[in-house]
Amino acid sequence: SAVISQKPSRDICQRGTSLTIQCQVDSQVTMMFWYRQQPGQSLTLIATANQGSEATYESGFVIDKFPISRPNLTFSTLTVSNMSPEDSSIYLCSVWGGNEQFFGPGTRLTVL
Amino acid sequence: KNEVEQSPQNLTAQEGEFITINCSYSVGISALHWLQQHPGGGIVSLFMLSSGKKKHGRLIATINIQEKHSSLHITASHPRDSAVYICAVRAQGAQKLVFGQGTRLTINP
Protein backbone atom coordinates (compact mmCIF):
# COMPACT_ATOMS: atom_id res chain seq x y z
CA SER A 1 0.00 0.00 0.00
CA ALA A 2 0.98 3.63 -0.28
CA VAL A 3 0.14 6.49 2.05
CA ILE A 4 0.04 9.90 0.41
CA SER A 5 0.01 13.27 2.12
CA GLN A 6 -0.62 16.64 0.54
CA LYS A 7 0.08 20.18 1.66
CA PRO A 8 -1.76 22.44 2.00
CA SER A 9 -5.08 20.73 2.60
CA ARG A 10 -6.89 23.89 1.54
CA ASP A 11 -6.15 27.47 0.64
CA ILE A 12 -7.90 30.64 -0.42
CA CYS A 13 -5.88 32.70 -2.87
CA GLN A 14 -6.19 35.96 -4.76
CA ARG A 15 -6.35 35.96 -8.53
CA GLY A 16 -3.02 36.46 -10.24
CA THR A 17 -1.03 34.70 -7.53
CA SER A 18 0.50 31.21 -7.59
CA LEU A 19 0.20 28.26 -5.22
CA THR A 20 2.51 25.26 -4.93
CA ILE A 21 0.98 22.00 -3.75
CA GLN A 22 3.22 19.32 -2.28
CA CYS A 23 2.68 15.57 -2.50
CA GLN A 24 4.63 13.11 -0.37
CA VAL A 25 4.42 9.33 -0.69
CA ASP A 26 5.66 6.90 1.95
CA SER A 27 7.24 4.61 -0.64
CA GLN A 28 9.20 5.02 -3.86
CA VAL A 29 7.05 5.17 -6.96
CA THR A 30 7.94 5.63 -10.59
CA MET A 31 4.92 7.63 -11.70
CA MET A 32 2.93 10.23 -9.86
CA PHE A 33 -0.28 11.62 -11.29
CA TRP A 34 -1.81 15.03 -10.71
CA TYR A 35 -5.60 15.36 -11.08
CA ARG A 36 -7.99 18.26 -10.92
CA GLN A 37 -11.61 18.02 -9.82
CA GLN A 38 -13.63 21.10 -10.59
CA PRO A 39 -16.81 21.70 -8.56
CA GLY A 40 -19.44 19.10 -9.37
CA GLN A 41 -17.18 17.38 -11.89
CA SER A 42 -15.18 14.20 -11.95
CA LEU A 43 -11.42 13.97 -11.96
CA THR A 44 -9.34 15.09 -14.92
CA LEU A 45 -5.70 14.18 -15.32
CA ILE A 46 -3.42 17.22 -15.51
CA ALA A 47 -0.08 15.50 -15.98
CA THR A 48 2.04 12.49 -15.18
CA ALA A 49 5.28 13.17 -13.31
CA ASN A 50 8.25 10.85 -13.70
CA GLN A 51 11.40 11.27 -11.67
CA GLY A 52 14.27 12.60 -13.72
CA SER A 53 12.27 13.70 -16.73
CA GLU A 54 9.81 16.35 -17.82
CA ALA A 55 6.21 15.82 -16.82
CA THR A 56 3.80 14.68 -19.52
CA TYR A 57 0.82 17.00 -19.81
CA GLU A 58 -2.67 16.10 -20.99
CA SER A 59 -4.49 18.02 -23.66
CA GLY A 60 -5.61 21.38 -22.35
CA PHE A 61 -2.92 21.66 -19.69
CA VAL A 62 0.43 23.40 -20.21
CA ILE A 63 3.66 23.58 -18.27
CA ASP A 64 3.58 27.36 -17.95
CA LYS A 65 0.28 27.20 -16.09
CA PHE A 66 0.94 24.00 -14.10
CA PRO A 67 4.68 23.53 -13.62
CA ILE A 68 5.55 20.27 -11.91
CA SER A 69 8.67 19.16 -10.09
CA ARG A 70 9.67 15.59 -9.31
CA PRO A 71 12.99 15.75 -7.50
CA ASN A 72 12.92 12.17 -6.19
CA LEU A 73 10.84 8.99 -6.12
CA THR A 74 8.70 9.99 -3.12
CA PHE A 75 7.89 13.66 -3.71
CA SER A 76 6.34 15.97 -6.28
CA THR A 77 4.98 19.49 -6.45
CA LEU A 78 2.33 21.05 -8.65
CA THR A 79 2.18 24.82 -9.00
CA VAL A 80 -0.99 26.55 -10.13
CA SER A 81 0.28 29.77 -11.70
CA ASN A 82 -1.40 33.12 -12.29
CA MET A 83 -4.59 31.83 -10.75
CA SER A 84 -8.10 32.79 -11.79
CA PRO A 85 -11.43 31.81 -10.21
CA GLU A 86 -11.71 29.05 -12.82
CA ASP A 87 -8.80 27.31 -11.10
CA SER A 88 -10.91 26.76 -7.98
CA SER A 89 -10.85 22.99 -7.67
CA ILE A 90 -9.65 20.07 -5.62
CA TYR A 91 -6.17 19.01 -6.73
CA LEU A 92 -5.20 15.43 -6.03
CA CYS A 93 -2.01 13.49 -6.47
CA SER A 94 -2.14 9.78 -7.06
CA VAL A 95 0.20 6.84 -7.47
CA TRP A 96 -0.12 3.37 -8.87
CA GLY A 97 1.03 0.72 -6.44
CA GLY A 98 0.75 -2.93 -7.34
CA ASN A 99 -2.87 -3.60 -8.17
CA GLU A 100 -4.29 -0.49 -6.61
CA GLN A 101 -4.53 3.23 -7.26
CA PHE A 102 -3.86 5.42 -4.24
CA PHE A 103 -4.97 9.02 -3.87
CA GLY A 104 -3.85 11.82 -1.66
CA PRO A 105 -6.41 13.61 0.52
CA GLY A 106 -6.57 16.49 -1.94
CA THR A 107 -5.93 20.22 -1.79
CA ARG A 108 -9.07 22.33 -1.95
CA LEU A 109 -8.22 25.60 -3.69
CA THR A 110 -10.50 28.62 -3.81
CA VAL A 111 -9.46 31.57 -5.97
CA LEU A 112 -11.16 34.89 -5.30
CA LYS B 1 -19.95 10.76 -25.63
CA ASN B 2 -17.75 10.17 -22.58
CA GLU B 3 -15.55 7.10 -22.58
CA VAL B 4 -16.97 6.17 -19.17
CA GLU B 5 -20.65 6.62 -18.37
CA GLN B 6 -22.23 6.03 -14.99
CA SER B 7 -25.85 5.70 -13.99
CA PRO B 8 -27.65 6.96 -12.12
CA GLN B 9 -26.02 10.33 -11.49
CA ASN B 10 -27.87 10.67 -8.20
CA LEU B 11 -29.45 8.01 -6.03
CA THR B 12 -31.35 8.38 -2.78
CA ALA B 13 -32.45 5.32 -0.86
CA GLN B 14 -33.57 4.22 2.58
CA GLU B 15 -31.30 2.46 5.00
CA GLY B 16 -31.26 -1.27 4.34
CA GLU B 17 -32.00 -1.08 0.63
CA PHE B 18 -29.96 -2.92 -1.98
CA ILE B 19 -28.06 -0.43 -4.14
CA THR B 20 -26.79 -0.85 -7.70
CA ILE B 21 -24.61 1.62 -9.57
CA ASN B 22 -23.76 0.98 -13.19
CA CYS B 23 -20.75 1.84 -15.33
CA SER B 24 -20.38 1.45 -19.09
CA TYR B 25 -17.23 2.16 -21.05
CA SER B 26 -16.33 2.30 -24.71
CA VAL B 27 -12.64 1.37 -24.88
CA GLY B 28 -10.67 -1.81 -24.39
CA ILE B 29 -9.42 -1.85 -20.84
CA SER B 30 -6.83 -3.57 -18.72
CA ALA B 31 -8.64 -2.75 -15.46
CA LEU B 32 -11.67 -1.02 -14.00
CA HIS B 33 -11.66 0.71 -10.64
CA TRP B 34 -14.46 1.61 -8.28
CA LEU B 35 -13.65 4.54 -6.03
CA GLN B 36 -15.45 6.19 -3.14
CA GLN B 37 -15.22 9.93 -2.48
CA HIS B 38 -16.51 11.36 0.78
CA PRO B 39 -17.69 14.98 1.19
CA GLY B 40 -14.26 16.12 2.39
CA GLY B 41 -12.81 15.16 -0.99
CA GLY B 42 -10.67 12.18 -0.04
CA ILE B 43 -10.81 9.22 -2.42
CA VAL B 44 -10.58 5.58 -1.42
CA SER B 45 -10.10 2.72 -3.84
CA LEU B 46 -12.79 0.08 -3.33
CA PHE B 47 -12.08 -2.44 -6.07
CA MET B 48 -9.92 -3.08 -9.07
CA LEU B 49 -11.41 -5.54 -11.55
CA SER B 50 -10.23 -7.11 -14.74
CA SER B 51 -12.78 -9.91 -14.86
CA GLY B 52 -15.52 -11.59 -12.88
CA LYS B 53 -16.63 -10.48 -9.47
CA LYS B 54 -15.14 -9.24 -6.20
CA LYS B 55 -16.70 -8.92 -2.77
CA HIS B 56 -15.59 -6.93 0.24
CA GLY B 57 -17.97 -6.83 3.16
CA ARG B 58 -21.29 -5.43 1.95
CA LEU B 59 -19.81 -4.29 -1.35
CA ILE B 60 -19.83 -6.41 -4.51
CA ALA B 61 -18.38 -5.41 -7.86
CA THR B 62 -18.91 -7.24 -11.12
CA ILE B 63 -17.59 -6.74 -14.61
CA ASN B 64 -18.60 -8.08 -18.02
CA ILE B 65 -15.69 -7.47 -20.39
CA GLN B 66 -17.62 -8.47 -23.51
CA GLU B 67 -20.44 -6.04 -22.75
CA LYS B 68 -18.03 -3.34 -21.44
CA HIS B 69 -20.11 -2.96 -18.31
CA SER B 70 -19.57 -3.06 -14.57
CA SER B 71 -21.85 -2.79 -11.56
CA LEU B 72 -21.22 -1.89 -7.94
CA HIS B 73 -23.71 -3.29 -5.44
CA ILE B 74 -24.17 -2.37 -1.81
CA THR B 75 -26.18 -4.73 0.35
CA ALA B 76 -27.95 -3.60 3.54
CA SER B 77 -27.09 0.03 2.82
CA HIS B 78 -26.31 2.36 5.69
CA PRO B 79 -26.17 6.17 6.00
CA ARG B 80 -22.38 5.94 6.29
CA ASP B 81 -22.37 4.61 2.69
CA SER B 82 -23.45 8.08 1.54
CA ALA B 83 -20.70 9.28 -0.79
CA VAL B 84 -19.87 9.76 -4.44
CA TYR B 85 -18.97 6.50 -6.17
CA ILE B 86 -16.70 6.82 -9.17
CA CYS B 87 -15.97 4.31 -11.90
CA ALA B 88 -12.59 4.66 -13.64
CA VAL B 89 -10.97 2.60 -16.37
CA ARG B 90 -7.39 2.03 -17.40
CA ALA B 91 -7.21 1.63 -21.16
CA GLN B 92 -5.08 -1.18 -22.54
CA GLY B 93 -1.45 -0.08 -22.67
CA ALA B 94 -2.09 3.10 -20.69
CA GLN B 95 -1.12 4.14 -17.19
CA LYS B 96 -3.67 6.87 -16.63
CA LEU B 97 -7.26 6.43 -15.48
CA VAL B 98 -10.30 7.81 -17.25
CA PHE B 99 -13.09 8.67 -14.83
CA GLY B 100 -16.84 8.54 -14.98
CA GLN B 101 -18.87 11.47 -13.72
CA GLY B 102 -19.65 9.77 -10.44
CA THR B 103 -22.86 8.69 -8.72
CA ARG B 104 -23.91 10.66 -5.66
CA LEU B 105 -25.48 8.20 -3.22
CA THR B 106 -27.51 9.33 -0.22
CA ILE B 107 -28.80 6.77 2.25
CA ASN B 108 -31.45 8.10 4.60
CA PRO B 109 -31.93 6.57 8.05
Q: Measured between CB atoms, which of B40, B45, B102 is closest to A101? A: B45
Average pLDDT over residues B85-97: 89
pLDDT at position A20 is: 98
Residue B1 reports pLDDT greater than 70: no
Distance, CA of A55 to CA of A93 (rounded, Å): 13
Helix (H, G, I), strand (E, B) or coil at A28: coil
Q: CB under 8 Å to A15, separation ≥6 — which residues?
A: A83, A84, A85, A111, A112
Q: What is the pLDDT of residues A25-50, one digit of tens each?
A: 999 998 899 999 998 888 999 999 98
Distance, CA of A110 to CA of A108 (rounded, Å): 7
pLDDT at position A54 is: 87
pLDDT at position B92 is: 87
A43 neighbourhood in chain B, CB within 8 Å: 86, 88, 97, 99
B86 neighbourhood in chain A, CB within 8 Å: 42-43
Are residues B97 and A101, on separate chains, in Cβ contact within 8 Å?
yes
